[in-house]
Structure 1
Amino acid sequence: MYSTALLFTCVASIYVSFIYWSYLQEKLTSSNYSIDPINETAFFHFPLIINIVQCIFCIVSGSIYLYSKIQLNNKSNKDEKKDKENIIMFFPSLSKKTILTLYSISISQSISAPLSYMSLDHVDYILYLLAKSCKLVPVMFVHYFAFGTIYPKYKYIVAFIITFGVTLFTIGGMKSKTKEISEDGNILLGLTMLCISLLLDGFMNSAQDIIFKTNYKKLTGAHLMTYLNFFTMLNLTIYTIFMTSQFQNFISFIKINGYFALYDLIKFSLCGAVGQIFIFITLEKFSSVVLVTVTVTRKMLSMALSVVLFGHVLNWKQWCGLILVFVGVGLESLIKIFQKKKPISNKKTE
């Protein structure tokens, strides 16, 4: 009962925070922030800055979340012994292998997001959305081939149904009043970027699962959220300072066009930080496959709401895709209720 209530709370919180996060993301990247919008255009094209600010907010919220968890696990923090225990819980001793794995995940995270955005120069948004919405497949693919994880058969069936539903929904096409920015037509390069990004995402989610299994008593979702965002922020900041001029351009942009974009960036990062707390709770208490199922269906819900909010028109293929996704999620829920959960086995031996 507690597990079901926790999952419901996580799902609802992820939906609410990231649906508004998606709205702010679109507003931030497509709005004209010029002080004279009739005669001039000023678009906020600073993806590295967006990621760095998002990481900073996630580090702060993750630290608060971690501190709260530690305090709940202690009856009192007044004596010296408790203070030492709190410090140890906040900074647990980790093996070199775990630290290396954490940093490799942060590198994957640092490369994956910018690479997927770069692919939009070569493929249209429909193909981009299609690929990014099918994370279940690369996560299970990496789990199977890199870590030897074998899931119950129904997991593969559910992954196929949801992925097929997302594919059908996206390929069906959506009539919109928004004019898409044209790409250069180099589809092969764009697809290569998307595939690399998805495989990095798959490695990232799978490696997080392994970390929780091998360091269960030391690392929690709060630890992982704080550490990964810190490493990612470090990677992106070093790259941005020495390899780009985005910091200087960002400061000039704010000076010229005012603080409206900065306000939207702060709200965007705050929503992402709150949403990440519940993402890592889901990852810690359940699994990356459950998490990806939630995030994929959240994207579907965002698309469904956009039909109502922005006047998009769905055709029969998209309605079928939408129904298939929720059938897949419902099927998994029913199987979990009426069938005892089979333990995940490992086909490889150490």
Structure 2
Amino acid sequence: MSYLRLGLCVGGVYSMFLLWAIAQERLSVPFQHIDGTSSEKFNSPLFMGTCQSFLSALAALLYIYLRRKPGQTLHQILGLFDAPKTTTPNGAANGNASINGSANGHAKANGHTHTPHENKRDTRFDTRSLLLRYLQCAVLITSAAPFGFAALSYITYPAMVLGKSCKLVPVMIMNVLLYHRKFARHKYLVVAMVTLGITLFMGFGKEKPGKAKPGRGSAGAGQEGPSAYAQLIGITYLLINLLIDGATNSTQDEIFARYKVTGQQMMFWINVFCTALSAAISVLPLPYVPVLHPAASGTELGAALAFVRTHPSVVGPLAQFALTGALGQLFIFETLQHFGSLTLVTITLTRKLFTMLLSVVVYNHKLTPGQWLGAAVVFAGISVEAWVKRRDVHAKRVIQEKEKARIKAL
């Protein structure tokens, strides 16, 4: 049964996100006007995000409702707490055990110690603090998405996929520069390989970004590649996207550590807040803001709907982008819940490799031998990281099994 579930998860992640990637790249290139005289790009990333987050929230809600246990309240189904919890004299939270141990005796920030007679609200089990964490994730996700979409105007989609595979690099560099932290030797090797690979890929690139399907696109394979300045802008946007993604992942880890919620519950609430936030911004008459609000005048929602009316061919890729993104998230959280993060990392790593290859085939990208070498170096470096992690986890499991056997023998 577990192998069948794993096969379904792998197949779901691959199929949904490969189709999602095709739709995302198609949305980044010009669409033909209804009168057939011109073509324009779809510049409404917030509208794209609103469509996807709405369907994702709906998919998560249906999932957790169908998988609910008998007798569960609505609050429990949605991962909320039925009542505020307070710390009792023994330091434990009423109605729920503390995750991080007793609060009794811990020093406070103002210098005095928590006494057994004090009753203080424990925010680790507080619905309001949990929802604020979800809102924080939503703000980060809503801010990150436009930068990733804008990067496609300056770098090719295969280059972006390659860059998105390297979240470890900016995180590790910032830790070393800002906090002087040290890492295992293999991590420095991984960063060096990834950096070398990306440098080779970008340096040997000759294709312009924003290329569409043959016969429908802007740039041809034989045209001169993007300038160094354009590539720098694209890489900068991509780095901003990766850094914000890293902050999002850290916040999600904090939620899992502090609160007893499932992945699907987190998916539901984050996407609810993303939908509300992006929809609110889309209807506000904001001025032109590069990347974040590219609409020249009026609201982004108005600009997006006007574009859909005059470019009806955008409807198909937009629906594909939203639907496959929503279903793909369900498979990701299902994999994370039943098989752990290492299995998920392996699946997503190979998925990104196939995404890049599929983009090359579907949109007829022309990669030079130097770019293929750069891609190989990047994925080899990431594979080293995944292999070391798997080896370390396996070693820990062996030690735990031996310890259990020793205790049972006693």
Q: How high is the TM-score relative to the length of structure 2?
A: 0.65
Match of 2:87 in 1: none
- Number of residue-to-residue matches in the alignment: 327
Instruction: State whether residues 193 and 381 of structure 2, in contact with CA within 8 Å, keep that contact through their aligned partners in structure 1.
Output: yes
**Among 227, 234, 254, the residue aligned to 2:269:** 227
1:296-315 equivalence runs, <5 A: 296-315=349-368
Q: How does 1:144-183 map to 2 (within 5 A)?
A: 161=193, 164-165=196-197, 168-173=200-205, 175=207, 179=219
8 Å contact from structure 2 (residues 201, 372) kept in 1: yes
Paired with 2:341 and 2:173, the residues of 1 have a C-alpha distance of 12
**Would you say 1:10 and 2:9 are equivalent positions?**
yes
Task: Identify which of 390, 400, 408 aligns with 1:336.
Answer: 390
Structure (1/2) with the larger helix percentage: 1
Larger Rg computed on CA atoms? 2
Q: Which moved more, 1:322-331 or 1:181-190?
A: 181-190
Q: Residue 200 of structure 1 is aligned with which of 240, 244, 247?
A: 244
Q: 1:187 to 1:54 in 2, by over 3 A?
A: same
**Structure 2: how far apart are the matches of 1:192 and 1:267?**
28
Does the residue aligned with 1:30 lie in a helix, a strand or coil? coil
CA distance in 2, matches of 1:326, 1:198: 17
Q: Aligned pair 1:132/2:172, yes or no?
A: no
**C-alpha separation in 1, matches of 2:280 and 2:349:** 31
| C-alpha distance in structure 2 between counterparts of 1:232 and 1:91, whole Å | 18
**1:107, 1:295 → 2: CA distance?**
24
Unmatched tracts of structure 2, length 5 or more? 82-124, 209-213, 287-297, 398-410
Q: Distance in 1 between matches of 2:281 and 2:78?
A: 28
Instruction: Indicate which of 248, 255, 276 corresponds to 2:309.
Output: 255
Q: How does 1:111-130 map to 2 (within 5 A)?
A: 111-119=143-151, 123-125=154-156
State the match for 1:317 in structure 2.
370
Q: For residues 104-147 of structure 1, what are the alpha-carbon distances to aligned partners after superposition, in whole Å with 9 as ceiling and x for unaligned?
A: 111111111113334566x4447755543422334567899999
Contact 1:142 1:199 in 2 (8 A): no
| Equivalent of 1:280 in 308, 333, 358 | 333
Q: Secondary structure at the match of 2:28?
A: helix
> 1:249 is aligned with what amino acid?
A
Change (3 A) 1:140 1:224: farther
Q: CA deviation at 1:278?
A: 1.9
Q: Which of 45, 48, 54 pairs up with 1:47?
A: 45
2:30/2:39 contact within 8 Å kept: no
| CA distance 1:157–1:25, shift in 2 (3 Å) | same
The share of aligned pairs that are identical, in percent, is 30
Question: Can you give the 5+ residue segments of structure 1 that lack an aligned partner in the other structure?
Answer: 344-350
Task: Indicate which of 87, 99, 104 corresponds to 2:136.
Answer: 104
Residue range with higher mean Cα deviation, 330-339 or 218-227: 330-339
Q: Equivalent residue of 1:340, what SS?
A: helix
Q: Distance in 1 between matches of 2:252 and 2:41?
A: 35
Q: Deviations over 1:21-75 (max 9, x none)?
A: 11122223324242222x23244322111111111111111111222332xxx3x
State whether structure 2 residue 55 is matched by structure 1 residue 57: yes
> Counterparts of 2:5 and 2:185 in 1: how far apart (Å)?
25
Could you tell me which amino acid in structure 1 is paired with residue 261 of structure 2?
L
Written as runs of structure 1 = structure 2, the 5 A alignment for 1:60-99 is: 60-70=58-68, 74=69, 77=70, 82-84=71-73, 87-93=75-81, 94-95=125-126, 96-99=128-131
Tell me which of the two structures has the higher relative contact order, counting C-alpha pairs closer than 8 angstroms and 6 or more residues apart.
1
CA contact (8 A) 1:116 1:194 kept: yes
Query: What amino acid is the match of 2:80?
Result: P
TM-score, normalising length: structure 1: 0.74
